[in-house]
Structure 1
Amino acid sequence: MRISGTEIDFEVGKNQTVLEAALAQGFEFPHDCTVGTCGSCRSKLLSGKVDAITPFGYTLSREELTAGYILSCQAVPQSDIEIAVDLEAAASHAETVSGRIVETRDLTHDIKLVSWEVERSVSYKAGQYMNVRWPGGPGPRSYSFSTEPGEGGRTRLSTFIRKVPGGAFTEALFKGELDDAAFEIEAPHGHFWLHDGDGPILLVGGGSGLSPLMSLLEDAVSRSVQRDAILLFGGREERDLYYLDEIAEIGRRWKGKFEFWPVLSQTEAPGRRFGMVTAEIPAAIAELGGVDGLQAYMCGPPVMIDAGVAALTSQGVPIDDIHYDKFTDASTGGN
């Protein structure tokens, strides 16, 4: 196996996955869940053939599959292969810190802002996430940071958390049963962050998917990034819109054009767009001057991401310029 653009090549054993072989031979390779749900190990197959332990289409969109993307944790080579992968995504090493909740605040009827104070600073890139473990819990839950990283990292880690009916973690969290619990937090994880470029930025979010987008936007403002941007955010009704003052402040400080387009899917309201948030993608692209140099960043449920990828590619946005973080819950085998 060869990794394109590097000097890295090595043998992969019989019935061994690409990811297993890379890690066994000491190479840093982006990954997290290792079971084909998070998408962190997404790679592009440039030549050769692989078999999939679990179908790649469970996580990847049709457009990604057509473009040759695979999940390295599920890919077993059937020949010599060459892949392209963002090794920068594996460059930040996760560490585990202990912490306690110091703030919970209602943002909507089913989303809270939750902050932990941890024992030492955690460094991360805007857009990345943390894995959270709590006493007696069945396993970690993953939540994206909602604030820019700050210099030297942060000891106060914040995120937006949506209540999942029957969820082992969120039911206890929303009832206040974990306010005094000792948590273990592993971070940073993920390969979702703002990439270099001069073209416009289109951001699309839904529900608690606003969390990493706020982190990304706050960080871009702090670094004086000067690129035109539109933030599309979808909710069912007016009560699902939140953080409006903070978004307005981003707009005031943004270098370049910044527009916020909230979209309601179930109830119409004066001054709001109505329909599916991804249906507004063509209009947003036109407002940003077309697809030349455009990068798209999406966070939200799988159905929104898949619809967004389809809408963006149909407008001519290259699949390599589409970056996303699918928000799933434990019932779907994801985060």
Structure 2
Amino acid sequence: MSKYKIKVIDSSNTYVFTDLGGSVLDSLIAFGYPAPYECRNGNCGECKVKLVSGSATGTRSMDSGLTSDEKQRNYILTCSANPASDIEIKYNVEIQSVSKKIVDVEQAQRISESRVATIRSINRRGNDVLILCVETDEQMYFEPGQYVDMSFDGLPKRSYSIASCDETNRKFEFHIRIFDKGVVSCHLNNLNDIGQKVALSGPYGIATLNNAPNHHSLVLICAGVGFSPIKCIAVEALKHEPEREVILILFVRNNSDFYDNDAIQMLENNYSNLQCHRIQNEKKTEQLGII
């Protein structure tokens, strides 16, 4: 672990974190800071910050997330920049509240380290979804709604949400959409070697089940494999808050998108406080919208 410090200034507060090695973004995520990002490969620019003081390496000439002017004004991309000294960075965007999610250095270090998992099964559901089940060599504790980074030898890292976990905290399920040119998803779709090793780091993410009073309904909205973290959150709420109304709204394009319908029906049969609404639209449209 590096001795460097990362001082973060946002619209509401100032935080000081320890560099855990790797990129600035990796360290911020491990500590639970809700740093904005999207692609994590230098293209989108969502993670850019002003480097107020100190130095950082790793910004690449091909990183299209920064303009030439921004580079001259000392902006960096946290996904590709590595601290080369104590640094101070400033966000120019609104950052959501982080108070209860910040963890200590020891816990953040555990999160940032990789653990080995073994692929136990891969099953195809619907037209383009894989249900991947892995077993870790050691326990991994997480909050429903979190995700992990998954790395296969020779392939780029991918982030996948945890759909379920057994009582041992070692067997995990992930839902992965197959893309025609998706390097990792196509690799998994063609994989015959059950038992292959995969590296997991995390868990990451702060979009988790909170401790709202039971009389507040829990409304969960998702589409496609976005059901993966929602499934985990719903099961946790139904198991531990039996009096709480849980409303699941699932958007799909066609019947094949109901890829985990058996699991949903089982939840409906077992929990009277669950309402599930399936909304299907097979019509092509030029309309765009935001939920």
Normalized against structure 1, the TM-score is what?
0.57
Q: CA deviation at 1:207?
A: 1.1
Q: CA deviation at 1:194?
A: 1.4
Counterpart CA distance in 2 for 1:162 and 1:216 is 20
Q: CA deviation at 1:133?
A: 0.4
**1:113·1:160 contact (CA, 8 Å) conserved in 2?**
yes
**Residue in 1 that maps onto 2:246:** 229
1:108 to 126, 129, 141: 126
**2:34·2:98 contact (CA, 8 Å) conserved in 1?**
no
Corresponding letter in the other structure for 2:33: P
Q: CA deviation at 1:221?
A: 1.9
Structure 2 unaligned residues grouped into runs of 5+? 1-7, 17-22, 41-48, 52-63, 67-76, 80-87
SS at match of 2:139: strand
Corresponding letter in the other structure for 1:215: C
SS at match of 1:99: strand
Q: CA deviation at 1:226?
A: 2.7
**1:110·1:162 contact (CA, 8 Å) conserved in 2?**
yes
Q: CA deviation at 1:247?
A: 1.4
> What is the Cα-based RMSD across aligned positions, in Å?
4.0
Q: CA deviation at 1:148?
A: 5.0
The answer to whether 1:86 aligns with 2:89 is no
The answer to whether 1:146 aligns with 2:202 is no
Counterpart CA distance in 2 for 1:262 and 1:78 is 39
**1:4·1:82 contact (CA, 8 Å) conserved in 2?**
yes
The answer to whether 1:191 aligns with 2:203 is no
Corresponding letter in the other structure for 2:174: T
**Residue in 1 that maps onto 2:172:** 157
Q: CA deviation at 1:132?
A: 0.5
Which is worse superposed, 93-102 or 201-210? Answer: 93-102
Q: CA deviation at 1:84?
A: 5.5
**Residue in 2 that maps onto 1:254:** 271
Corresponding letter in the other structure for 2:187: A
Decide whether aligned partners of structure 1 residues 90 and 113 sit closer, same or farther in structure 2, where only a CA change above 3 A counts: farther
Which is worse superposed, 223-232 or 96-105? Answer: 223-232
Q: CA deviation at 1:126?
A: 0.7
Q: CA deviation at 1:222?
A: 2.1
**Residue in 1 that maps onto 2:136:** 118
User: Percent of aligned positions with the same letter in both sequences?
Assistant: 16
How many residue pairs match? The answer is 230
Query: CA-to-partner distance for each residue in 1:267-316, whole Å, 9 max, x for gaps?
Result: 6xxxxxx999xx9xxxxxxxxxxxxxxxxxxxxxxx8xx711xxxxxxxx
Decide whether aligned partners of structure 1 residues 226 and 149 sit closer, same or farther in structure 2, where only a CA change above 3 A counts: farther
Counterpart CA distance in 2 for 1:20 and 1:132 is 19
Counterpart CA distance in 1 for 2:15 and 2:138 is 37
SS at match of 1:307: coil
Counterpart CA distance in 2 for 1:207 and 1:182 is 27
**Residue in 1 that maps onto 2:151:** 133
1:205 to 222, 241, 244: 222
Normalized against structure 2, the TM-score is what?
0.65
Q: How does 1:1-335 map to 2 (within 5 A)?
A: 28-30=31-33, 37=39, 77=90, 85-91=97-103, 93=108, 94=111, 95-137=113-155, 139-148=156-165, 150=167, 154-177=169-192, 179-198=194-213, 199-254=216-271, 256=273, 258-266=274-282, 307-308=290-291
Counterpart CA distance in 2 for 1:84 and 1:217 is 23
Q: CA deviation at 1:224?
A: 2.6
Decide whether aligned partners of structure 1 residues 197 and 172 sit closer, same or farther in structure 2, where only a CA change above 3 A counts: same
